[in-house]
């Protein structure tokens, strides 16, 4: 069981290593008839591309996608869609030393314990490059969701202790255009400038920083998610925690709910004309594992980049304690490049659960087949 597959109906299988010849994904269960081009996928991949800013790894890769199957005359055929991105900037020599020791904060030790052998070049399967397949698949999921009027938007909420001034504000008060232009992914020019200053300080100290990515889903209908083991929030948690370097997941108020009281945490139901709405959204759009029709709000908490250029203590494969200094090209902060990864995993999960929900009611099944 290598666990490289995610989803039940809209199913993705990512494959490839950071320093192999290529990396990619097979998407199975995509409905036929969706207009899809390599340009649709490339727009998403360009948002996670290395070398795009001073705070992203200086590894320069085109990350150009090739669609190998599942499309005919510009439309999905309903058959598996295979996508490939060739690795073009491998400098495996940077990693030759790593073969003999375990980098702190990385998966070197655990891979060795598990397999007794590992592709040490750039972390192999545990590399951030694995997320290329997720982002390519996420681009398809987002396009399908858009066809249903559902949008998924992620952005940086915090880098280190620098946070957006009002993280809970309505989405239309966020400067999302700013978030796409600046190197932090924060939808606020001033907060971004402060975060950039903090990152410069980290880099001077040969250190790294962590942060928070927020993601919101608009226009998701009520009723999506299964009530026990396939809860919408449980599947989102798995999707987000499966991204490298994510250490915590929150839905709605998340950990703040634990210190609230029922009187402040409960969202009152109200009528908006004939429609049921909620006066507040502490729940983040999910009740009992099922979407409640309000905005879905989640957050992913990232640890600081484990590869830092300071000297560190570790052990080698012979059991000797040693001092190391990592070389290579690494992001001083993972968060800005991970924004689109969070967006992709959210889109994939929400779409998969929307498709699963189609079997929930006999009247809807009758409607479909009549």
What minimum distance in Å lies between the beta carbon of 135 and ligand FMN? Answer: 9
- Binding-site member from 27, 71, 296, 338 for ligand FMN (CB under 6 A): 338
* Residues constituting the chain: 370
Q: Does residue 346 belong to the site contacting ligand FMN (CB under 6 A)?
A: no
Which residues make Cβ contacts (< 8 Å) with residue 177, sequence separation at least 6? Answer: none
Chain-centre distance for alpha carbon 303: 14
| Spatial separation of the C-alpha atoms in residues 244 and 330, rounded to whole Å | 14
Q: List the x/- string, 121-160, binding to ligand FMN by CB under 6 A.
A: --x--xxx--x-----------------------------
| Spatial separation of the C-alpha atoms in residues 217 and 221, rounded to whole Å | 10
What minimum distance in Å lies between the beta carbon of 110 and ligand FMN? Answer: 8
- Binding-site member from 182, 192, 305, 314 for ligand FMN (CB under 6 A): 305
Of residues 254-283, which lie at the interface with ligand FMN (CB under 6 A)?
Answer: none
Nearest CA to 24 out of 74, 81, 76 is that of 81
Which residues make Cβ contacts (< 8 Å) with residue 31, sequence separation at least 6? Answer: 76, 78, 144
Q: List the x/- string, 43-72, binding to ligand FMN by CB under 6 A.
A: --------------x---------------
What minimum distance in Å lies between the beta carbon of 209 and ligand FMN? Answer: 12
Which residues make Cβ contacts (< 8 Å) with residue 6, sequence separation at least 6? Answer: 12, 13, 238, 239, 242, 348
- Binding-site member from 12, 107, 300, 351 for ligand FMN (CB under 6 A): 107
- Binding-site member from 13, 157, 330, 353 for ligand FMN (CB under 6 A): 330
Residue 49, Cβ density class (10 Å: 0-12 exposed, 13-18 middle, ≥19 buried): buried
Number of H helices, E strands in the chain: 9, 18
Q: How many Cα neighbours within 13 Å face the side chain of 228?
A: 0
| Spatial separation of the C-alpha atoms in residues 129 and 244, rounded to whole Å | 10
Can you read off the two tokens belonging to residue 114?
């598990």
Stretch that binds ligand FMN, among 71-79, 161-169, 301-309, 310-318 (CB under 6 A): 301-309
Stretch that binds ligand FMN, among 73-81, 119-127, 137-145, 349-357 (CB under 6 A): 119-127
Q: List the x/- string, 198-237, binding to ligand FMN by CB under 6 A.
A: ----------------------------------------
Comparison of 57 and 153: residue with beta carbon closer to ligand FMN: 57
| Spatial separation of the C-alpha atoms in residues 139 and 36, rounded to whole Å | 10
What minimum distance in Å lies between the beta carbon of 272 and ligand FMN? Answer: 39
Interface with ligand FMN (CB under 6 A): 57, 106-107, 123, 126-128, 131, 243-245, 303, 305-307, 330-331, 334, 337-338, 341
């Amino acid at each position: 069981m290598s666990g490289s597959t995610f989803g039940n109906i809209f199913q993705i299988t990512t494959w490839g290593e950071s320093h192999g010849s290529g990396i990619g994904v097979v998407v199975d269960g995509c409905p036929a008839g969706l207009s899809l081009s390599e340009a649709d996928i490339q727009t998403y991949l360009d948002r996670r591309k290395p070398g795009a800013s001073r705070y992203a790894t200086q590894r320069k890769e085109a990350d150009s996608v090739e669609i190998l199957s599942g499309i005919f005359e510009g439309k999905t055929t309903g058959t598996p869609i295979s996508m490939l991105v060739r690795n073009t900037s491998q400098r495996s020599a940077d990693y030759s030393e790593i073969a003999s020791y375990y980098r702190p904060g990385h998966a070197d030790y655990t891979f060795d314990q598990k397999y007794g052998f590992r592709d040490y070049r750039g972390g192999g399967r545990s590399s951030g490059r694995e997320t290329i397949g997720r982002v390519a698949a996420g681009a398809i999921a987002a396009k399908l969701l858009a066809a249903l009027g559902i949008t998924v938007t992620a952005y940086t909420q915090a880098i280190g202790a620098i946070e957006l001034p009002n993280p809970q504000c309505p989405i239309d008060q966020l400067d999302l255009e700013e978030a796409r232009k600046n190197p932090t992914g924060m939808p606020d020019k001033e907060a971004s400038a402060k975060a950039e200053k903090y990152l410069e300080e980290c880099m001077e100290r040969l250190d790294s920083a962590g942060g928070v990515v927020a993601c919101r889903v608009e226009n998701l209908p009520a009723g999506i998610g299964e009530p026990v083991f396939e809860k919408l929030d449980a599947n989102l948690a798995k999707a987000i925690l499966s991204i490298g370097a994510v250490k915590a997941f929150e839905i709605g108020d998340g950990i703040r709910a634990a210190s609230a009281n029922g009187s402040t945490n409960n969202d009152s139901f109200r009528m908006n004309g004939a429609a049921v709405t909620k006066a507040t959204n502490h729940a983040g759009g999910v009740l009992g594992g099922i979407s409640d029709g309000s905005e879905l709000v989640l957050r992913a908490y990232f640890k600081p980049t484990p590869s830092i250029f300071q000297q560190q203590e570790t052990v080698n494969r012979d059991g000797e304690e040693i001092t190391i200094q990592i070389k290579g090209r690494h992001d001083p902060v993972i968060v800005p490049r991970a924004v689109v990864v969070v967006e992709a995993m959210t889109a994939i999960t929400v779409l998969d659960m929307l498709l699963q929900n189609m079997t929930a009611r006999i009247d809807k099944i009758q409607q479909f087949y009549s």
